[in-house]
Amino acid sequence: MAHSGFEGYEKRLELHFFGDDPTILQMGLRKLDFECMIQPTLEAVQCTVVSAVGNSYFDAYVLSESSLFVYPTKIIIKTCGTTQLLKSITPLIFYAHTHLGLTLCSCRYTRGSFIFPESQPFPHTSFEEEVTYLENTIPENLSLRKASIMPSKLSSHSWHVFTATNDPPLSHYQNHPYTMEICMTDLDPILARKFFRRSGDGKSGDSAGKDMTELTGIDEINRNALICDFAFDPCGYSMNGMDGDWYSTIHVTPEDGYSYASFECVGSISMNESMVHMLRKVVQIFRPGTMSVSTTMTSGGYGNEAWRMVAGAVEPMGLKGRSFAMDGFPAAGSVVFQTFTPLRRKSE
């Protein structure tokens, strides 16, 4: 099948490391040399850095295909298109161990259902292939493993999850109790046009990105966030937001026929009010024809709270819940997966 559009759906990889030297752990993975270690790893994945920012907690990179976040003991890489994300695992494990004495203790891989699955290269040709690759790549001490496809009544929006952690498990996630990943397709075409650049605008990707951030209201999702944004030519947009040690990120592929946008953030159940605000702003900015929300909780007992929070936030915006699924992963928490579509179709 010929490639007929850009693949917006991202692949997301989260790796946690541990070590015994407290002096190393203060900066940890942030000490990896960019040109000699990070950049070659990204080249293996087939993407590059286009903009970057950092604070006292972590470094955030906007990539040519999505985002990279580097904390002292955690790396998150999120890439779209036909990138080969899983090829980053081996070099990252090697650099972390050889140069910092850090050892991988947890791995999480998630993604939605690709719009153009036939265009994906190895090892992303199928979820089964991805799981096999992961099983053969990560260390044996990550023995608590599970792979799951969480179904949806909208078959094109199923959620794929693989987790692996060490036994006995360490506490990897205490600072970020949950991660929310939102995938949206069939964006409102008028709103999607705001992510196209004017021909010959003479602006850099950074300055054009800043304009899009303000024009669309993305800067109002979290007013406390430091935003690093970038607009691609002729269209497309990415941003990373930094609020203390919390991150958020948005990526937009606005072309008609395969329009897509994603929003991701970390938070805690105690942030219910601010999370509701963020969810509603995201719906206002994109007005998707289909929206899926995956909430990963690393501490138990919050599944129903997460489900109610998400539904209570987006249903007053004219969306109706179409499916709900929840699954647990050994020593890695649980995932709630919900899909929504408008009460009234756009053609009605």
Catalytic residue positions, numbered: 7, 10, 66, 80, 238, 251
Q: What are phi and psi of 329, to 5 degrees?
A: -130, 135
Cα–Cα distance between 186 and 8 in angstroms, integer? 12
Give, as one character, the DSSP assignment of residue 175: T
Cα–Cα distance between 234 and 212 in angstroms, integer? 13
DSSP codes, 94-136: HHHHHHH--EEEEEEEEE---SSGGGPPTT-S-HHHHHHHHHH
Cα–Cα distance between 285 and 251 in angstroms, integer? 12
Q: Which of 270, 265, 287, 274 is nearest to 340 (CA)?
A: 287
Owner of token pair 């947890």: 106
Burial (CB < 10 A; 0-12, 13-18, 19+), residue 348, is exposed
Give, as one character, the DSSP assignment of residue 196: B
Cα–Cα distance between 31 and 266 in angstroms, integer? 23
Pairing of strands 103-111, 74-79: unpaired
Q: Which of 85, 83, 152 is nearest to 113 (CA)?
A: 152
Owner of token pair 């939605």: 112
Residues sharing a CB contact under 8 Å with residue 275, sequence separation 6 or more, in sequence order: 180, 265, 267, 309, 313
**Residue 301 C-alpha from the chain's centroid:** 23
Contact 216, 29 (CB under 8 A): no
